[in-house]
Structure 1
Amino acid sequence: MEWILLVLVGLLAGTFGSLLGLGGGIIVVPALLFLTPYLPILQGLTPQVAVGTSLVVIIFTGLSSTLAYMKYEKVDYKSGFLLFIGSGPGALIGSWVNKSLNHDSFSVYFGLFMIGCSILLFFKDRMKPKQKDRSSGYVRSYINDKGETYTYGFHPVFGAIIAFGVGFLSGLFGIGGGSLMVPAMIMLFLFPPHIAVATSMFIIFLSSIVSSVTHITLGNVNWVYALLLIPGAWFGGKWGAKINQRLKSKQIIQLLRIILVIVGVRLIIQGLA
């Protein structure tokens, strides 16, 4: 029964992670920490092992969903590689800093981070930059199924700095970084939500490889947990991408806000209890 529950956690994480461009760690890490007192198989689990294991699982969620989004032609590879230049080193450093956090402080910081991302999304429309702000940087265009043209982009240096911060938090919290990368893409760079989600999963796939190597070196990966979580995460990644194509942009953002608040509040309560 415990094994089946972990498989279901992986499935839920992969589905929501792919659907919203989060990577799935936002589900895996809190779920593992929350279930630790109740499942004998998780006894002795530390935040570091939860994070390290989550990042290994995210590799497969990221790969699965990226392959699925490729079929819909929603992945902006050039933007993804440019942003990975910053997120890769950030993920490496964040993974090392993770060693200094205990269970309670980890939960509180993680929860505050989630709620902060939700608040940023709430003010998304007011925080949009003007098109001319990016005229001297990297500019892209996208035409959706209705024939509507979207222009988005970023200055490479500014994009790398933002991505570095996202990568750092990814390695620190084991969440893939999409909970911050997607809002940043939408608010700061004007990415269409569907493109932001798909490209975020591509970046998450690359960054999670870097973070995972570090956590594996530190001995922070429980391979039994990972093997139970990966199958569900793989199929969930594909299903999430399919569901994403059926939702409107506003629905994706609204769902993202709700998930971030619920998870954030739950983690803070758990950390302060």
Structure 2
Amino acid sequence: MHYFVFSIIGIATGFLMAIFGIGGGAFIVPALDVAFLIVPNLSHPPFQLIVIGSLCTIVIGSLPRAIKVVSGHQSERTTATILILNALPFILLGSFLATQLTDNILRLGFSVTIAAIGIWTLIGKSPTIKNSESIQKYSPCKLVVVGAISGISSALFGLGGATLLMPLLTMWVGLPISLCVDISILFVSVTSIVSLVTLSSAWIGVHGANSITPEIITLILILGISAAITQIIAAGKLVKMNNQLRQKLLGGYLIILSLWVIARALI
């Protein structure tokens, strides 16, 4: 029964990820939260373990696509490398902080981050679609800031992919959307692996390996793999949605999600 429920929630989550063209903490974290909440006689894991489960899913879904990006344009690899190198110290910092902060503080931090992105997405101006050849001159300092924000957000909340990186790179840094997609995939794959390893190690170092039961690992993997596979299959088959409408719907979803997480923290 547990496995069936987690599979169904994973499939539904995968469809949402495919519709909005993003996949990661903004969908997997609340999906895992809901799944553990609605299944009877199942202990709810700490928020840190839910983030670890989200990172597992991101790695599974992004790694095959990231390998293809590596053989792409030099400009994409260079920009992604700058972001990754600036993110690594903050991933280590975030992994340490995640073991020291309480469950409620992490949930509130997640909700504030998601709400800020949601409001920006909802009322912000859609970036002009450009070809990768028409790259504007951008400030390297902005890439440093984006890398730092994405790195610490990835380790603390499982966020740092397209939900956070795409609006920052397009609407703030000024990179073309076509370039940002590949940069985001490569960045997310590498930083998620690092975040997963460092956060898991930090958690086990503080709480011990017995704090992560085989049942929790199995259920998280079932939901994550179901979502990742569904997203891959559905991404090319769903009806195309107007970009402006997609942006507004995504912004509304993120704001509603932030309210849900706040409510869960206060219960």
Partner of 2:153: 169
Q: Deviations over 1:164-222 (max 9, x none)?
A: 11110111012344322111012112234454344323211111000000122123764
Q: 2:190 aligned with 1:201, yes or no?
A: no
Q: What residue in structure 2 maps to residue 269 of structure 1?
A: 263
For the 8 Å contact 2:107–2:261, the answer to whether it is kept is yes
Q: Distance in 2 between matches of 1:192 and 1:243?
A: 25
Matched to 2:220, the amino acid is A
> 2:110 — aligned with what?
110
Matches within 5 A, 1:6-45: 6-17=6-17, 20=20, 22-40=22-40, 42-45=42-45
Whole-angstrom distance in 2 between the partners of 1:194 and 1:249: 14
Task: Indicate the structure with greater helix content.
Answer: 2
Q: How does 1:112-191 map to 2 (within 5 A)?
A: 112-125=112-125, 142=131, 150-152=134-136, 154-191=138-175
Say yes or no: does 1:97 pair with 2:97: yes
Shift of 1:120: 2.0
Residues 12-57 of structure 1: per-residue CA shift (max 9 Å, x gap): 4444446546432212212222333432474141111111121112
Higher relative strand content: 1
2:135 aligned counterpart, secondary structure:
strand
- Pair 1:44–1:261, CA change in 2 (3 A): closer
Q: What runs of 5+ residues in structure 2 fail to find an aligned partner?
A: 205-210
Match of residue 228 from structure 1:
222
Q: Summarize the Cα distance change of 1:19–1:182 in structure 2 as closer, same or farther, 3 Å threshold.
A: farther
Deviation at 1:256, TM superposition (A): 2.3
Do the aligned partners of 2:56 and 2:221 also contact (CA within 8 Å) in 1? no
Specify whether residues 65 and 262 from structure 1 end up closer, same or farther in structure 2 by C-alpha distance, changes over 3 A only. farther
* Structure 1 unmatched ranges of 5 or more: 129-140, 144-148
Contact between 2:13 and 2:31, CA under 8 Å: does it hold in 1?
Answer: no
User: What do you get for the CA RMSD once the two structures are aligned?
Assistant: 3.3
- Equivalenced residue count is 254
Taking structure 1 as the reference length, the TM-score comes to 0.77
Give the structure 2 partner of residue 85 of structure 1. Answer: 85
- Partners of 1:237 and 1:99 lie apart in 2 by 31
Q: What is the CA–CA distance in structure 1 between the aligned matches of 2:257 and 2:24, rounded to whole Å?
A: 12
Percent identity (aligned): 23
Deviations 1:240-266 (A, max 9, x none): 642689344324422321221121111
SS in 2 for 1:125: coil
SS at match of 2:259: helix
Code of the aligned partner of 1:165? I
Are 1:260 and 2:249 counterparts? no
Please give the TM-score of this superposition, normalised by the length of structure 2. Answer: 0.79
* 1:214 alignment partner AA: T
